[in-house]
Amino acid sequence: MSETALPKDDARSVLDAPVEAPVETAPPAAVQRPGNGLAIVALLLGAAGVAVGGWGVWQVRHLQAYNQQQLAQVQALNDQAQNLKLNEQRISARLEQLPAVDELEARARLVTQLQGDQQRLNQRLETVLGASRKDWRLAEAEHLLRLASLRLSALQDISSAQALVQGADEILRDQNDPGSFAAREQVAKTLVALRSTEQPDRTGLFLRLGALRDQVIDLTELAPEYKDRGDSLLGLTADGDGASRWAQWWDQISRYIRIDFNADKNVRPLLAGQSLSQVRLALSLALEQAQWAALNGQAAVYTQSLAEARDVLTGNFNPDNPQSKVMLEQVGELSKQRVTVVTPDLTGTLSAVQGYLERRNVNAEDSIKPMAKPAADTVQEATP
């Protein structure tokens, strides 16, 4: 037991004594801090709400601007669709002026025939590899004549056909066979006919028409200009020492009044802006169509296109305009050029060469049979 321990009686008295209620004390100043924290949190929440509201307003404005941009793009797409529709109509109009389907099918058949002839040539080359060189050269001559016939019928190419027929004639000449006289005679006639046929310069016509198309952009309308060619009619009324008042007055009036002795002449309005662009486009399309006709040998389309170009020049431009005058002269000169030619027929020549080949093959077979007979007889004699 320590010295501070109480005696038992004192301890019991202490336990029996009534317990006094605790005295309430004022809370410390730190109890008020949660209120300040709530205010700060409320302020932060308010600031966050304002920020969210501002962000929402910004998003709405951004969406409005985006919608306006989309509307502008839709309008631009609509304009492009209209332009495409107009271009489609122009292309459809130009397609209607192109050759008919029958003609295109005929050319396709000619190309198919050329491909078939090439395939047959390949097959024939495979079969004659074991034959003699002369037979192979004769087959080449026949093929050259076929190619020449196709070049004349499909493309009207006189130069290429002449070179092909010349090659076939050289092959027949190298054979040195009297039996080829009839075939060589037909080939010679064909060469004379080809050499006497003039080849139209389609490439040159195409290039010249292209040069005219390039000049259409610079083609402008010439405005009428009044040129004073001397004094007025009453200038002769002046006295010898000086002009009279009447002459001076007439000089002033003549600046505002003109007398035209060709009043019945047709006066064309001046072209400018969109009208001039449309006339240039029509002239350019007519020249472009003439280019196509020159390359493909379409005489009717070529003549019609140049006539349309001439009508555009004479109907919309002054004859005094040097640009339109020179272009009109060139169009008239080009319209006199030929784009088609009557080609000679190579059917007789090809038939003559084929007949020569058949006779040669028959003679070769006849010469082989007598040689094969003795061989067969010897085989029969050898067998008992």
pLDDT, one tens digit per residue, over 261-270 is 554 555 455 4
Confidence class for position 380, pLDDT limits 50, 70, 90: very low
Q: Compare 15 and 310 and report the one with higher pLDDT.
A: 310
Confidence class for position 59, pLDDT limits 50, 70, 90: confident
Nearest to 165 by CA among 152, 153, 176, 177: 152
What number is the average pLDDT over the span 319-339?
Answer: 86
Distance of CA 379 to the CA centre of its chain: 74
- Each domain of the chain, given as residue ranges in start order, spans 50-82, 104-199, 200-221+269-340
The pLDDT assigned to 96 comes to: 79
The single-letter code of the amino acid at 28 is P
**b/e code 360-376 from CB counts within 10 Å (16+ = b):** beeeeeeeeeeeeeeee
What number is the average pLDDT over the span 168-192?
Answer: 89
**Lowest mean pLDDT across 246-260, 275-289, 305-319, 354-368:** 246-260
Cα separation, 153 vs 143, whole angstroms: 15
In the predicted structure, residue 178 carries a pLDDT above the cut 50: yes
The pLDDT assigned to 3 comes to: 42
- C-alpha to C-alpha distances, 1 to 4, 9, 12, 13, 15, nearest whole angstrom: 8, 16, 17, 20, 20
The pLDDT assigned to 344 comes to: 87
The pLDDT assigned to 216 comes to: 87
Q: Compare 3 and 85 and report the one with higher pLDDT.
A: 85
The pLDDT assigned to 157 comes to: 83
Confidence class for position 274, pLDDT limits 50, 70, 90: low
What number is the average pLDDT over the span 180-187?
Answer: 90
Percent of the chain, pLDDT > 70? Answer: 71
The pLDDT assigned to 365 comes to: 63
